[in-house]
Amino acid sequence: EGLSSTIQVMLMLTVVSLAPAILLMTTSFVRILVVMGLLRQALGTQQLPPSQVITSISLFMTILLMTPVWTQVYDEGIKPYTEKQIGIEEAWQNGTLPMRKFMAAQIDRTENQDDVYLFLKYMPEEIDPETGELPDYVYYGATSAEKDVPLQALLPAYMLSELKTAFLIGFQIYLPFVILDIVVASVTISMGMLMLPPVLISLPFKLLLFVLLDGWKLVVEMLLNSFQVLL
């Protein structure tokens, strides 16, 4: 019993120490944080909102989106293991399955399946020695003729997919502000105000436009809707 308690404590300490990496690698945090950072750059407000505020908003949105997934991880993996109903290997399989489903849903929704095969190609042990090709892969629930995508390929593929998606959303946010900058620059040049930085003039108009359109609500809603939520 003492050994079992020691193992549980070690597992908990391991999970806590890896929590930041897990948060970055397997959740919606990366996409939200990158988009929020690009939004700040598009507005041209320099360090406003502060990085702590952007990180906090991203974290709270991540908790909102990931709570159903984390609940499944606890109910299907952690809780049965702590109650000694299943072994550690089965607990690992059951606990990682909801995360696999979430990451697979986001990759499929953004049509970035090629990212998975990009990393699989660099795993020689996954290549069939007879054919020299990759076997049939599925994200989870493989049959005898299939293989589950290894986590060491799924995790970086998911992060790469999230970065692509975040940059695409950031471009959509950036575009109207760039157009506004161009219009303001054209007006200032035509008026002969060459010494006055156009960015300085366009900033109040950007803020006014953003507030009038309820920009924060639109951006947050767009981000939340961009995820395939697991029910």
Residue range 112-163, pLDDT digits in tens: 888 888 887 777 665 665 565 655 666 666 555 567 778 888 888 899 999 9
124 lies in a domain? no
The least confident of 60-74, 95-109, 193-207 is 193-207
Containing structural domain, residue 34: 2-111+160-225
* Alpha carbons 197 and 172: distance in angstroms, whole number: 25
140 lies in a domain? no
More confident residue, 23 or 50: 50
49 lies in a domain? yes
76 lies in a domain? yes
Where do runs of H (alpha helix) occur along 121-197? 151-190
The domain total for the chain is 1
181 lies in a domain? yes
**Residue 165 pLDDT:** 92
Sequence-distant contacts of 63-67: CB under 8 A, at least 24 apart: 64/224, 65/27, 65/28, 65/224, 65/227, 65/229, 66/27, 66/28, 66/102
Place of tokens 């190609």: 121
Using alpha carbons, select from 52, 21, 55 the residue that is nearest to residue 36.
Answer: 55
Residue 4 has pLDDT above 80, yes or no: no
**Residue 149 pLDDT:** 77
Place of tokens 């499944």: 72
12 lies in a domain? yes
More confident residue, 195 or 115: 115
102 lies in a domain? yes
Q: Look at residue 146 and give its three-state secondary structure.
A: coil
Helix axes 29-43, 215-225, angle to 10 degrees: 150
Using alpha carbons, select from 212, 215, 178 the residue that is nearest to residue 198.
Answer: 178
149 lies in a domain? no
Six token digits for residue 156: 């970086």
